[in-house]
Amino acid sequence: MQAVIWTPAVAWWFLESEESVCSTVDLDPTRAVEGTSAASEARAVSSAGPSTGHCPSSPPPVKRPRMQDHLQVDVSASTACSTTAGVIPSPSSCHAASPNSASMMTNTITCRLKKLVHACNGTSPQNHENRPSVWLSQHGLLKSVGHSQLPVADQELVRIVAQYLRDMGFSETVKVLSLESGCSMENPLATKLREYIFRGHWNRALRTLYDLKVFIEKEEDFVEMQFMLLQQKFLSLIEKGRVLHALKLLRDKMSVLKVDRSKLTALSYFVMANSADVVKHPDYTGGSVSARENLMNELQHFLPTTLMLPPHRLQALIKQSLELQRLRCRFHNMRDTSPCLDISNNSLLSDHTCKKTDFPCQTVQVLLDHCDEVWYCQFSHAGKLLATGSKEGVIYIWDVNLSSRSVTKKFTLDGHAFGAAYFVFSPDDKYLACVGPEDSPDLWIWDTETGILRIKITHSPDDSISCVSWHPDGNKVVCGGTKGQFYQCDLEGTVVDSWEGVRVRSIQYRKDGRTVLAADTHHRIRSYCFDDLTDRTVIKEDHSLMHFSIDKSEHFALCSVANQGVHLWDLESGSLVRRYRGVVQGYFNIFSCFGGVDEKYVASGSEVGKVYIWHRDEEAPVVVLSGHSSVVNAVSWNPAEPSLLASCSDDGSVRIWGPHECCSNPESCSLCRVGVSEENNEVHEGGEERGKNDKEEEEEEEEEEGDDDAA
């Protein structure tokens, strides 16, 4: 019987030669090893001299394997010693063996082949046609030879699923998935890099990084990755007390890298530090698994995704999908308390949708304290106060209970002879600046904590002060009117700056504290800088601009335009973004506002006694609230509670709107008593109006009854 040695050189030739693996090598272990062993022995015999043609009488001693993983096989003596194959047998081929040795060695060969091929390409050694799969390093994907390839999109999806299963601990499932699909999750070198980093083998990690250099496009990225690993090695040496080795590493390896010199200087201080100081270094991973995982994630940013998937890729895609669904949801008006849209708090079996009943569509409280038309209402920045002003010259300050969505009267501010037409809270909600209609010359500043008048500013009885805005620092205000007054005053009433001849209807201070946006009587919004006295036109409408407000980003402006309704403008590009349909507005001064979560909604009053609410990205209203019996002059959305809305009307009432609660008070619940007309998105209060479908059905029934009577 012949004993054949499978040498490491032959094994590596088998693995590295893609052509021989895919076309010429038969994966039957016995035949493959037999042929290769015969060739090896032929070379050995030819180098030793001419063959005698027969087995020697006394066999030489059996060779001792130099490596534990050498592959050996015993074949029958008749097969081994025959010369039909054209191969001269070696003297060691005539040794005796046990009957079961051939099958045992065959199993050993199969196992060794699987392990070696798996180490080479990171996947199972065979596909459905018993041909090996080969890793293509030029683009980081696995090539399964012998059957049709999966599309690239399917390969990526398989890799993403495999990564998720691996993170869940289903390692055997990942192996089966890779075997059946012919796709490996990542490059074997990337797997080694992760393994070495998690074990703290920095030298091996650096060597593997050099092998991965061909995949890194930018040289500076490779240098940065080198520095990150060398830094870990340096700090590890310092922690172990090997200061001289660390200093040599810093001098020979790290200083030659093109990195920020301040980083090297900071590391040099640790040469004189103790191990306790090293542990406190923010970038040192030590033995922490989470810290080394963070290091691996940072390194992964420099590697292409075809080589190594970004961490938690499936969860990231699902979170993006959930976020997009919430953005498209017409009635999603809840703050997301879960960090980063936690998947565990969301069902993945259906798309995200919110019910209309979760929207502020029900009157939760009606305030009837005013005796005349209520011209304006506004919540404070913190949402804890509500101010309402009327034609009678009285402003009420209300305390807001955010949990119960109810308000109670706090102060009564009176004395406004021309009426309280507009007011605004200071940035810290400590003061309230109030102005009257166009024929009012006064500016009132009230203390909201005590209800006492801070100052009343009147420059001339002929002035018109009908709009006001606070400076971001809360120490100055800018005010103006349609008679050409445009002042900037401090809290003592002193005019700091002025702009002559500008007739304004509405003004807003920008966050930079230098620029004021003002809507003038020429249908424009212009930007005025009080520092260098420069101005420019931002946007221009075709009709009168009655009022405008800007969002928190100061990128968009919401304009109430006479005979046109509500328009959304882009302040950066000066372009009209959207016209909101449905609202009826003539020449009354009707105020609109942004609101809801992330200010994704727009609300406005109307001359027909309704409150219109639009999604910011849609022209048609999502909800129309009915309840007021006259013109709705203003609406205000609570910035702290997205489901709380206030509206005021010429009917003398202020309505507080909240989400639908069937059990709270059925008599005041519009959805319980009448319901919502889905066709025109209209919520009716107390049965005063009904949807178009109901009216049409009643008319048809009356016509049918009349026909029956006539017959």
pLDDT per position as a tens digit, 621-638: 999 999 999 999 999 999
Q: Which whole number is the average pLDDT over 39-66?
A: 46
User: HSE on the CB side for 585, CA within 13 Å?
Assistant: 31
Look up residue 569 and give its two tokens. 């403008």
Q: State how far Cα 566 lies from the chain centre.
A: 31
Q: Is 606 exposed, middle or buried (0-12, 13-18, 19+ CB in 10 A)?
A: buried
State how beta strands 621-626 and 682-683 pair: parallel
Q: Which own/partner pairs from 550-555 qualify as long-range (CB within 8 Å, at least 24 positions apart)?
A: 550/508, 550/510, 550/517, 551/594, 551/599, 552/594, 552/599, 554/510, 554/511
Torsion angle in degrees (nearest 10) through CA of 692, 695, 697, 699: -140
For residue 707, the SS3 value is helix
- Distance in angstroms (rounded) separating the CA atoms of residues 568 and 219: 47
Q: Is 143 exposed, middle or buried (0-12, 13-18, 19+ CB in 10 A)?
A: middle
- Distance in angstroms (rounded) separating the CA atoms of residues 317 and 327: 15
Indicate left, alpha or beta for 419 from its phi (over 0: left) and psi (-120 to 50: alpha).
Answer: left
Q: pLDDT by residue (tens digit) across 232-279? A: 888 888 888 888 888 888 888 888 888 888 888 888 877 777 666 676
Q: pLDDT by residue (tens digit) across 326-364? A: 888 888 887 765 544 566 667 788 888 887 777 888 999
469-492: b or e for each residue (b if 16 or more CB lie within 10 Å)?
Answer: bbbeeeebbbbbbbbebbbbbebe
Assess contact for 420 and 375: CB atoms under 8 A.
yes
Torsion angle in degrees (nearest 10) through CA of 338, 340, 345, 347: 150
User: HSE on the CB side for 432, CA within 13 Å?
Assistant: 31
- pLDDT for 473 beyond 50: yes
User: HSE on the CB side for 101, CA within 13 Å?
Assistant: 16
- pLDDT for 401 beyond 50: yes
- Distance in angstroms (rounded) separating the CA atoms of residues 616 and 609: 22
Q: pLDDT by residue (tens digit) across 555-586? A: 999 999 998 999 999 999 999 999 999 887 87
Kindly tell me the sign of the dihedral angle through the C-alpha atoms of 421, 426, 431, 433: negative
**pLDDT interval class at 588 (50, 70, 90):** confident
Pairwise pLDDT comparison (441 vs 264), residue with the higher score: 441
- Distance in angstroms (rounded) separating the CA atoms of residues 235 and 50: 63
Q: In what order do the strands lie in the sheet with 515-520?
A: 504-509, 515-520, 524-529, 534-540
What number of other Cβ atoms are within 10 A of residue 19's Cβ? 9
Q: What pLDDT, on a 0 to 100 scale, did the predictor assign at position 475?
A: 93
- Distance in angstroms (rounded) separating the CA atoms of residues 536 and 541: 15
- Distance in angstroms (rounded) separating the CA atoms of residues 297 and 335: 30
Q: What pLDDT, on a 0 to 100 scale, did the predictor assign at position 342?
A: 61
Which of 232-246, 464-478, 640-654, 684-698 has the weakest average pLDDT? 684-698
> Closest Cα to residue 556, out of 541, 542, 536, 577?
577
**pLDDT interval class at 553 (50, 70, 90):** very high
Q: What pLDDT, on a 0 to 100 scale, did the predictor assign at position 276?
A: 67
Assess contact for 131 and 27: CB atoms under 8 A.
yes
Q: What is the mean pLDDT of the chain?
A: 76
Q: What pLDDT, on a 0 to 100 scale, did the predictor assign at position 22?
A: 39
**pLDDT interval class at 64 (50, 70, 90):** low
Look up residue 350 and give its two tokens. 């259906």
Assess contact for 184 and 178: CB atoms under 8 A.
yes
CA distances from 225 to 139, 188, 205, 259, 366 (A): 21, 18, 11, 11, 64
- pLDDT for 15 beyond 80: no
> Closest Cα to residue 113, out of 208, 105, 66, 175?
105
Provide the H-helix boundaries in 482-528.
Answer: none
Look up residue 496 and give its two tokens. 């700091």
Say whether pTM exceeds 0.75. Answer: no
Q: pLDDT by residue (tens digit) across 364-397? A: 999 999 999 999 999 999 999 999 999 999 999 9
Which of 120-129, 472-481, 506-515, 600-609 has the weakest average pLDDT? 120-129
Look up residue 140 and give its two tokens. 């980081």
Look up residue 477 and give its two tokens. 């205000």
Residues 6+ apart with CB under 8 A from 398: 367, 385, 386, 387, 388, 407, 408, 409, 410
Q: Which residues pair with 445 in a beta bridge?
A: 433, 455
Pairwise pLDDT comparison (176 vs 131), residue with the higher score: 176
> Closest Cα to residue 235, out of 191, 269, 195?
269
- Distance in angstroms (rounded) separating the CA atoms of residues 485 and 457: 13
Task: Report DSSP state, residue 629.
Answer: S
Domain architecture of the chain: domains with CATH: 2-121 (no CATH), 188-300 (no CATH), 313-345 (no CATH), 357-695 (2.130.10.10)
Task: Report DSSP state, residue 86.
Answer: S
Identify the residue whose tokens are 């100081």: 277
Q: What pLDDT, on a 0 to 100 scale, did the predictor assign at position 618?
A: 92
Q: What pLDDT, on a 0 to 100 scale, did the predictor assign at position 283?
A: 65
Pairwise pLDDT comparison (15 vs 528), residue with the higher score: 528
Assess contact for 634 and 650: CB atoms under 8 A.
no
